[in-house]
């Protein structure tokens, strides 16, 4: 069966009118209407169905002269008599900020005015209303003309809802899609405070103590800035991917994917779909990336490929690898081996803490969809999650992007990195020393070495360079082998390939230790503690061992 894939269609009426394949998510409307909570934020990764769900909600609730019941009659929401009581009953304000990005606050504010003006134009019936005061009508006209000085745009969510409620005689639904994109852009471009001040007043006016509000729904990737935007919005119910209430309403469940492959007439692809696009855990539920699944269905003759990575910026991952990453590569090393790492995470991302709080970075990667939480524990009100790369698609994203960004960090010297790896794997200690010395001299900051453990800096530096070997070799660090823990091992994934063990040492000049003595000590430690045992078990042949000694930015290498 050829499934009509609604790829790129996030407008619910269009999708249904074209009879495109639709995974029924309308039960979330029943849940939303059943809750007394007035304002809800759904925080999910990009391309997980937020925009389509918001369009579905708007279509169901918005007052209209056109009867749209045929769009819903075979869907879950229509089986609820209580939900149908709200069908096409409310005026709706629907704003999307997904394309609101700018280099300056002046340009950003102009884009925000444009979004607000477009929504006011959609409600141009207000200009002919016989219940609105003339000054209110004139204010709306100014907004439509995008006048700047004469309009308090920060109050327009409240003011427009008041006008709509007066005109229709009913309370209003406010829907805001991708609310956090302008905030993240402002943080990246350096005008964060201006953006936060505007959105704090804008959102509070519409969603907090608004007598004209029936329901308010926000969507975004993050719950941003607990100390700023949401400081006055304590009535917003935050539903993150760690929350249970709406866990299966964004993304595809296993049952939904099973039905999809049956409808395709290709149940045999279920296993590959699972390994490529499954792996997310939302409050304990198995969730597939819906965009990647449907992209595969639309072009399955091309086979399984990474699709989600091409739908947006990978600045979050780049931030981890380049700005923080060479100090966090041990964790990346574990993640790339398919292991999980346990970290404290928060549902509330404070962007200003990303540069100073490593846990904030892990929280950002989790909420953005680059990692998933295999398990979650609550310890004294602090969330601890076992974080992992969810599937093959994301493993590909990590490996290819890390390779590219490490190359950039090394000034484009990927040839030197590959030559260094070749020297390691062939036992060429002299070439390895020369190349490593050159890269360290050009790349590693003296400031990074000023702390108490420069060996960790060098270890992370080497791990970052060697990540491109993943696939044919496992690059491991600080693992038990023999009678101790080696610093770095390059373990072949198939017997018969060479393997490497490296022991890193800082020259202890205060003890009058020479470089030759330190190198001999490193080799002796490898031999005495039998660090090669893990490589022997993996069938490595030959096995090369190296002592590497650092004295500031000077490097010495010896093979043993």
Q: What is the pTM of this model?
A: 0.82
Please tell me the predicted confidence (pLDDT) of residue 448. 45
Q: Is the pLDDT of residue 1 over 70?
A: no
Question: What does the alpha-carbon distance between residue 372 and residue 367 come to, in Å, rounded to a whole number?
Answer: 8
Q: How buried is residue 427: exposed, middle or buried, by Cβ count under 10 Å (0-12/13-18/19+)?
A: middle
Same domain, 361 and 294: no
DSSP-derived secondary structure for 308-335 = GGGGS--HHHHIIIIIIGGGTHHHHHHH
Which pLDDT band, with edges at 50, 70 and 90, does 457 fall under? low
Same domain, 368 and 517: no
State the total domains in the chain: 4
Same domain, 377 and 467: no
Higher pLDDT, 466 or 162: 162
Question: What is the DSSP secondary structure assignment for residue 470, as one 8-state letter?
Answer: B
Question: What does the alpha-carbon distance between residue 148 and residue 137 come to, in Å, rounded to a whole number?
Answer: 17
Q: Is the pLDDT of residue 462 over 90?
A: no
Residue ending a domain, among 239, 262, 293, is: 239
Q: By residue range, what is the domain housing residue 417?
A: 410-559
* Residue percentage of the chain with pLDDT more than 90: 57
Same domain, 234 and 283: no
Residue ending a domain, among 218, 239, 260, is: 239
Same domain, 298 and 372: no
Same domain, 456 and 389: no
Same domain, 285 and 328: no
Residue ending a domain, among 311, 330, 360, is: 311
Q: How buried is residue 43: exposed, middle or buried, by Cβ count under 10 Å (0-12/13-18/19+)?
A: buried
Please tell me the predicted confidence (pLDDT) of residue 286. 94
In a domain, 3, yes or no: no
In a domain, 400, yes or no: no
In a domain, 342, yes or no: yes
In a domain, 199, yes or no: yes
Residue 21, CA atoms < 13 Å, CB-side half-sphere:
22
Which pLDDT band, with edges at 50, 70 and 90, does 327 fall under? very low
Question: What does the alpha-carbon distance between residue 406 and residue 456 come to, in Å, rounded to a whole number?
Answer: 17
Same domain, 442 and 507: yes
For residue range 5-42, list pLDDT tens digits in order. 888 899 999 999 999 999 999 999 999 999 999 999 99
In a domain, 6, yes or no: no
For residue range 170-185, list pLDDT tens digits in order. 999 999 999 999 988 8
In a domain, 245, yes or no: no
In a domain, 246, yes or no: no
Please tell me the predicted confidence (pLDDT) of residue 512. 77
**What are the respective helix, strand and coil percentages of the chain, to the nearest 5?**
50, 20, 35
For residue range 248-300, list pLDDT tens digits in order. 999 999 999 999 999 988 899 999 999 999 999 999 899 999 999 999 999 88
For residue range 464-485, list pLDDT tens digits in order. 778 778 778 888 877 777 677 8
Which pLDDT band, with edges at 50, 70 and 90, does 446 fall under? very low
Same domain, 177 and 225: yes
Residues 6+ apart with CB under 8 A from 279: 372, 388, 389, 390, 391, 394
Please tell me the predicted confidence (pLDDT) of residue 450. 44
Question: What does the alpha-carbon distance between residue 173 and residue 389 come to, in Å, rounded to a whole number?
Answer: 37
For residue range 58-73, list pLDDT tens digits in order. 999 999 999 999 999 9
In a domain, 402, yes or no: no
Share the mean pLDDT of the chain. 86
Most confident of 391-405, 434-448, 489-503: 489-503
Instruction: List, edge to edge, every strand of the sheet that includes 285-288.
Output: 252-253, 285-288, 280-282
- Which is nearest to 345 in space by CA: 330, 365, 327? 365
Higher pLDDT, 445 or 391: 391
Same domain, 326 and 421: no
Question: What does the alpha-carbon distance between residue 29 and residue 85 come to, in Å, rounded to a whole number?
Answer: 12
Same domain, 300 and 320: no
Same domain, 289 and 363: no
């Amino acid at each position: 069966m050829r499934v009509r894939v609604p790829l790129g269609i996030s407008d619910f009426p269009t999708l249904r009118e074209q009879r495109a394949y639709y995974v029924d998510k309308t039960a979330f409307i029943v849940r939303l209407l059943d809750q007394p909570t007035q304002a809800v934020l759904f925080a999910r990764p990009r391309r997980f169905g937020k925009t389509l769900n918001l369009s579905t909600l708007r279509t169901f609730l918005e007052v209209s002269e056109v009867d749209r019941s045929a769009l819903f009659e075979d869907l879950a929401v229509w089986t609820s008599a209580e939900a149908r009581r709200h069908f096409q009953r409310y005026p709706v304000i629907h704003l999307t900020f997904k394309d609101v990005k700018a280099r300056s606050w002046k340009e950003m504010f102009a884009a925000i005015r444009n979004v607000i003006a477009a929504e006011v134009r959609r409600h141009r019936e207000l200009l002919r209303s016989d219940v609105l005061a003339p000054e209110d009508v004139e204010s709306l006209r100014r907004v439509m003309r995008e006048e700047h000085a004469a309009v308090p745009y920060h109050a327009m969510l409240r003011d427009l809802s008041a006008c709509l409620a007066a005109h229709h005689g009913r309370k209003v639904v406010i829907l805001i899609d991708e609310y956090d994109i302008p905030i993240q852009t402002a943080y990246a471009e350096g005008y964060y405070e201006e953006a936060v001040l505007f959105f704090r007043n804008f959102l509070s006016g519409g969603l907090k103590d608004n007598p004209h509000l029936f329901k308010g729904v926000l969507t975004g990737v993050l719950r941003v800035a607990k100390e700023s935007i949401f400081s006055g919005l304590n009535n917003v119910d935050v539903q993150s991917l760690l929350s249970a209430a709406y866990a299966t309403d964004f993304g595809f469940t296993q049952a939904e994917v099973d039905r999809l492959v049956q409808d395709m007439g290709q149940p045999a692809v279920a296993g590959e779909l699972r390994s490529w696009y499954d792996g997310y855990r939302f409050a304990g539920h198995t969730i597939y990336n819906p965009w990647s699944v449907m992209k595969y269905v639309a072009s399955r003759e091309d086979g399984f490929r990474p699709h989600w990575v091409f739908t947006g910026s990978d600045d979050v991952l780049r931030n981890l690898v380049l700005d923080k990453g060479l100090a966090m590569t041990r964790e990346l090393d574990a993640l790339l081996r398919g292991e999980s790492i346990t970290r404290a995470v928060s549902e509330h991302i404070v962007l200003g803490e990303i540069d100073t709080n490593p846990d904030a970075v892990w929280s950002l990667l989790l909420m953005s969809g680059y990692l998933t939480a295999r398990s979650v524990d609550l310890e004294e009100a602090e969330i601890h999650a076992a974080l992992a790369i969810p599937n093959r698609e994301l493993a590909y994203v990590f490996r290819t992007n890390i390779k590219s960004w490490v190359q950039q960090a090394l000034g484009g010297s990927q040839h030197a990195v590959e030559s260094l790896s070749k020297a390691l794997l062939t036992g060429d200690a002299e070439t390895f020393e020369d190349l490593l010395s050159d890269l360290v001299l050009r790349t590693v900051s003296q400031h990074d070495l000023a702390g108490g453990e420069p060996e960790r800096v060098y270890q992370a530096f080497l791990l970052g360079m060697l990540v491109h070997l993943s696939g044919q070799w496992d690059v491991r660090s600080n693992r038990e082998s023999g009678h101790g823990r080696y610093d770095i091992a390059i373990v072949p994934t198939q017997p018969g390939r060479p393997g490497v063990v490296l022991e890193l040492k800082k020259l202890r000049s205060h003890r009058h230790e020479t470089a030759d003595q330190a190198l001999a000590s490193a080799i002796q430690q490898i031999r005495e503690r039998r660090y090669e045992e893990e490589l022997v078990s993996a069938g490595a042949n030959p096995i090369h061992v190296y002592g590497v000694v650092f004295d500031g930015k000077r490097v010495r290498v010896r093979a043993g």
